[in-house]
A and B are shown apart, each in its own frame.
Chain A
């Protein structure tokens, strides 16, 4: 029995080695490998799926060869757990010898991989996580998503200037939630607004009802909300159930609460919600229309801001490789990425040469019904917004 077992396992190993040997020479030298670390399972899985979809779409459209090199994407699931991100990044760098690491659904995941990017001297392209400090943790980090400061500041300014005097805040109690709260508060109070109630809700929060009742009793002009993308639907349902919409309390916030991914299922209570954000699937440009149509055709759903961040992330990698003529030296790639400007489905964007963070337009949008579907319709634009979390220093 055991002899037979041994023979079997030898045979299996031999077969595996043989097949590896057969594949290896074909791709090894002229391939560029991208290690994509994303939450494909767990509460953040929609982020991972959108980014993976967008990258697939981009590679279908633009082909998988750049500057004579074949692009190979290796996806690893970290479930948004930083320890797993680190292990995945190590495996990708040491075993698979990737030339880029990319993805990162949440801030702790992006931070966990930062020291590895520095040691390995390879670019880390952050396509989702949104806390300001991320790009300061390694000279090899570039971001194509957003920072919360960008949209929280803008909505703070907008609210103060548009007749909103008293605001109650409801934010999730973790780093991005606190960023969203503080950057909003700073601009809104500077503009003469008053915060009448401040509630931080636990991240794993089953029921918003008691918090919302408290908000309702505080009678603010508007409710400033930041909850992680997946919870937006639940929040809006309970907001309506409790009659806050009828009490004349508007919802404002960064656009995470009305993410395109979930918006259409939220019901009519969400109509009139005003948010500041980087992307709306209703962005009126020809490029975006093509992007939305292609994405819908390929995956049967609407792209959200995470999809766009992934789409731009892979674009940045392609363009950097073009510029270095296929050279995969990390320092040269980062140099090539700095200051790069392009037209994205979200509008014109660029990479800040000093901070390696994204510079983009922030749009003020209102939820409206377009052809029977709910969309964030943009009505004001703040151009080329930098991350104020860093420019302050």
Chain B
């Protein structure tokens, strides 16, 4: 019984992590209709910035996390203004080719400057180890992930649904021409959204270094996972990818625990079954764009 709860806890933490990493992609893909395969590169950038600040400059971990967000967002906005902007109106194939090229360049660049071996972020002692909660082993670090990611999810949902910026963004996506006719600065809204998505990825990258491992191949290794989250969740809202992440996280952990021989396949089997059942994802729009 207790091991079931421990697994559930681990699964939720893993799912939350996937969500923070992938939700930026859900935003760019779903709301802006742009296929950005280089999403993982921003996550990696955030992870490395956090690592450098904590390990080399002695920053406290919790102070470095926001910086990971900011730096990834700044890189995002720079690239958006210089490169991505020109591809919004191009075909999806062009976008894929462009962003995968960018991914390979980021891998090579990080390999060159930081070396290819895996790096770790020095964590404060308070975040290490496990404690017992009525017999259920709770990892402190994973608990922190759940708290941070849970708060983020609520905040995101509120911003999108309740704020003026959220409605502008939705308007800009649904009909850019009408939106700009109404005085909404569409390119600015897109740039800001893109940067925010990159920032979230950067934060996710910093959080995941401890659990998924951080090396220059991060963007390639986890691209599949991000895409699974977005396809399974459907890309029209935040709730879809969120539930999909949780489902995949729990499924992956449980699969590896109970049927270790089949472990790595569970996540893909789930994806296939869900997509056969609902081809547009759990919360996808029924009409194709």
Give residues in A with beta carbon < 8 Å to B: 41-43, 45-46, 199-202, 204-207, 209-211, 213-214, 217, 230-231, 233-234, 237-238, 240-243, 261-262, 265
Decide if the interface of chain A is mainly helix, strand, loop or mixed: helix
What would 14 A/B residue contacts be, using CB atoms closer than 8 Å?
A46-B117, A206-B212, A207-B14, A207-B252, A207-B253, A209-B14, A209-B211, A210-B257, A210-B263, A213-B6, A233-B118, A242-B130, A261-B117, A262-B117
Contacts of B254 in A (CB 8 A): 210
Decide if A217 touches B3 in the complex (CB within 8 Å): yes
Interchain CA distance A316-B117 in the complex, whole Å: 29
Decide if B257 touches A213 in the complex (CB within 8 Å): yes
Q: Does B34 contact A (CB under 8 A)?
A: no
Decide if A265 touches B128 in the complex (CB within 8 Å): no
Q: Does B129 contact A (CB under 8 A)?
A: yes
Most chain A C-beta atoms within 10 Å of own C-beta, residue among B108, B130, B141, B217 = B130
Cβ of A164 to closest chain B Cβ, rounded Å = 22
Contacts of A209 in B (CB 8 A): 10, 14, 139, 211, 253
Decide if B217 touches A43 in the complex (CB within 8 Å): yes
Decide if A42 touches B263 in the complex (CB within 8 Å): no
Q: Does B222 contact A (CB under 8 A)?
A: yes
Interchain CA distance A131-B70 in the complex, whole Å: 46
Within 8 A of A (CB), among B1-58: 3, 6-7, 10, 14
Contacts of A262 in B (CB 8 A): 117-118
Decide if A210 touches B117 in the complex (CB within 8 Å): no
Q: Does B213 contact A (CB under 8 A)?
A: yes
Contacts of B217 in A (CB 8 A): 42-43
Contacts of B213 in A (CB 8 A): 206, 231, 234
Decide if A211 touches B256 in the complex (CB within 8 Å): yes
Q: Does B260 contact A (CB under 8 A)?
A: yes
Cβ of B153 to closest chain A Cβ, rounded Å = 21
Cβ of A266 to closest chain B Cβ, rounded Å = 9
Cβ of B206 to closest chain A Cβ, rounded Å = 16
Interchain CA distance A237-B123 in the complex, whole Å: 11
Cβ of A172 to closest chain B Cβ, rounded Å = 12
Cβ of B118 to closest chain A Cβ, rounded Å = 6
Contacts of B7 in A (CB 8 A): 210, 213
Leading 9 A-B pairs by shortest Cβ distance: A210-B256, A45-B116, A210-B257, A202-B264, A206-B212, A243-B130, A210-B253, A234-B213, A199-B260
Decide if B111 touches A41 in the complex (CB within 8 Å): yes
Interchain CA distance A162-B242 in the complex, whole Å: 50
Cβ of A188 to closest chain B Cβ, rounded Å = 20
Q: Does B278 contact A (CB under 8 A)?
A: no
Decide if B257 touches A214 in the complex (CB within 8 Å): yes
Interchain CA distance A233-B225 in the complex, whole Å: 23
Q: Does B210 contact A (CB under 8 A)?
A: yes
Interchain CA distance A45-B222 in the complex, whole Å: 20
Given contacts A206-B212, A241-B141, contact A211 B130 (CB under 8 A): no
Decide if B263 touches A207 in the complex (CB within 8 Å): no
Given contacts A45-B111, A217-B3, A243-B129, contact A211 B260 (CB under 8 A): yes
Cβ of A275 to closest chain B Cβ, rounded Å = 19
Decide if A207 touches B111 in the complex (CB within 8 Å): no
Decide if A200 touches B139 in the complex (CB within 8 Å): no
Interchain CA distance A46-B252 in the complex, whole Å: 30
Decide if B263 touches A201 in the complex (CB within 8 Å): yes
Contacts of B14 in A (CB 8 A): 207, 209
Interchain CA distance A202-B264 in the complex, whole Å: 7
Within 8 A of A (CB), among B104-156: 108, 111, 115-118, 120, 128-130, 137, 139, 141
Contacts of A233 in B (CB 8 A): 118, 120
Interchain CA distance A388-B7 in the complex, whole Å: 40
Decide if B129 touches A206 in the complex (CB within 8 Å): no
Contacts of B256 in A (CB 8 A): 210-211, 214
Q: Does B164 contact A (CB under 8 A)?
A: no
Cβ of A329 to closest chain B Cβ, rounded Å = 38
Decide if A230 touches B260 in the complex (CB within 8 Å): no
Q: Does B221 contact A (CB under 8 A)?
A: yes
Interchain CA distance A240-B139 in the complex, whole Å: 10
- Pick the residue among B6, B128, B129, B212 that contacts A207 (CB under 8 A): B212
Given contacts A199-B260, A210-B256, contact A43 B120 (CB under 8 A): no
Interchain CA distance A132-B10 in the complex, whole Å: 38
Decide if B129 touches A240 in the complex (CB within 8 Å): yes
Decide if A206 touches B221 in the complex (CB within 8 Å): yes
Decide if A241 touches B117 in the complex (CB within 8 Å): no
Who on chain B is nearest to A203 by CB? B264
Interchain CA distance A41-B211 in the complex, whole Å: 23
Decide if A42 touches B116 in the complex (CB within 8 Å): yes
How does the 8 Å CB contact mask read for B161-183 relative to A, with 1 for contact and 0 for none?
Answer: 00000000000000000000000
Cβ of A181 to closest chain B Cβ, rounded Å = 14
Cβ of A215 to closest chain B Cβ, rounded Å = 10
Decide if B137 touches A243 in the complex (CB within 8 Å): yes
Cβ of B224 to closest chain A Cβ, rounded Å = 10
Q: Does B86 contact A (CB under 8 A)?
A: no
Who on chain B is nearest to A217 by CB? B3
- Pick the residue among B117, B221, B252 that contacts A230 (CB under 8 A): B117
Contacts of B90 in A (CB 8 A): none
Contacts of B115 in A (CB 8 A): 45-46
Cβ of A265 to closest chain B Cβ, rounded Å = 6
Cβ of A299 to closest chain B Cβ, rounded Å = 12
Decide if A43 touches B116 in the complex (CB within 8 Å): yes
Decide if B139 touches A242 in the complex (CB within 8 Å): yes
Contacts of B289 in A (CB 8 A): none
Most chain B C-beta atoms within 10 Å of own C-beta, residue among A41, A201, A231 = A41
Interchain CA distance A262-B119 in the complex, whole Å: 10
Decide if A204 touches B221 in the complex (CB within 8 Å): yes
